[in-house]
Amino acid sequence: MNAILTSLFSAVMAPLKGLDPAWSMVILSLVTGVAMLVAFRYVSNQRGIKRSKARVISELLAIRLFKDDPWMTIKCLGAALKSNLFYLRYMLTPLVVLLVPVVLLLIQMEQWYGSEPLTPGQTTRVALALDKKDDVAALDAVKLLPATDDSYAVESPAMRIPALGEVNWRIRAKNPGDTVLRFEVGGKPVEKRLAIAAPDQTDLSLVSTTRVGSGFFDAVLHPAESTIGGTVASVSVDHHARPFSIFGIEMAWWLAFFILSLVFAFALKGPLGIQA
């Protein structure tokens, strides 16, 4: 399923990756906002939401209208907060239902917006973790092989940390392109994708920071590469977080997505006749 989702999302990103990341984010947020809004309409109790929203507003108006009586003001305040809880109750079902697709989408977006690819000359840490900790013999049997395409160079000897069940190396990126890191673990080959971009490249690209060994949730959270299996827990490469700014304001990409999709959804819920 990971492969399907990743392919689908890569297809979606294909026409967008050449754009400024801010604009691609605007487009993605718009499409997501509309899609979520339409989905929201069908999975939520629209009449109930309308009723509960109206009730909340009426209590707020009551605070204003009957302000002469302090006790009534307090009573209306309590009623407003209580009505607010009823409103939230109506949000629970759509929230749970929409949570799944939205989380999957965010995970996909993280692959594109979360990290920068390496650039030639940049050094970084590569870590391979085994399932078992304190198994020195197994750690000894882990090797990072040199690149066959001269895309990277291993700059440091392996540093084994038995307490973490982990082996670390420092590598230097050499030539741009999508390549693989090749390992040997207990005599078996293991690979990990490595993204190296030219220094002047501005296009978005898929960056897989971690390939996991096994586990459902790990696999869901790192969908770009298939699970390794065997004794390997994960292989990860440290990438710099991709700086993101929108209309000159620096912020986390997910925050921009949150704000934009919300703004689009709020703007379009009226025209689409959706109560939210």
Is residue 265 part of the contact set for another protein (CB under 8 A)? yes
264 and 274 in contact (C-beta within 8 Å)?
no
Is residue 204 part of the contact set for another protein (CB under 8 A)? no
Q: Which is nearer to another protein, 169 or 264 (CB)?
A: 264
Is residue 180 part of the contact set for another protein (CB under 8 A)? no
161 and 142 in contact (C-beta within 8 Å)?
no
Is residue 137 part of the contact set for another protein (CB under 8 A)? no
Between CA 77 and CA 59 the distance in angstroms is: 7
Shortest distance, position 80 Cβ to another protein, whole Å: 4
Q: Which residues contact 211 (CB under 8 A, 6 or more apart)?
A: 192, 193, 222, 224, 225, 226, 227, 228, 234, 235, 236
Q: Which of 66, 127, 191, 238 binds another protein (CB under 8 A)?
A: 66
Stretch that binds another protein, among 19-27, 152-160, 227-235, 256-264 (CB under 8 A): 256-264
Write the CA distances from 1 to 57, 138, 222, integer angstroms.
44, 31, 12
Our CA angle for 58, 62, 65, nearest 5°, is: 130
Shortest distance, position 52 Cβ to another protein, whole Å: 10
Q: Which is nearer to another protein, 185 or 276 (CB)?
A: 276
Shortest distance, position 208 Cβ to another protein, whole Å: 15
Q: How many CA atoms lie within 13 A of 21 on its CB side?
A: 27
Q: Which of 28, 196, 212, 276 binds another protein (CB under 8 A)?
A: 276
138 and 109 in contact (C-beta within 8 Å)?
no
Between CA 31 and CA 40 the distance in angstroms is: 14
CA-nearest of 260, 239, 251, 38 to 123 is: 239
Torsion, Cα 239 241 247 250, to 10 degrees, reads -150
Is residue 221 part of the contact set for another protein (CB under 8 A)? yes
Q: Which of 76, 128, 232, 246 binds another protein (CB under 8 A)?
A: 76
How many residues contact another protein, by CB under 8 A? 63
Site string for another protein, 18-57 (x = CB under 8 A): --------------xx--xx--x---x--------xxxxx
Shortest distance, position 219 Cβ to another protein, whole Å: 12
Q: Can you give the binding site for another protein, defined by CB under 8 A?
A: 32-33, 36-37, 40, 44, 53-74, 76-77, 80-81, 84, 87-88, 91, 94-96, 98-103, 106-107, 110, 114, 217, 220-221, 252-254, 257-258, 261-262, 265-266, 273, 276
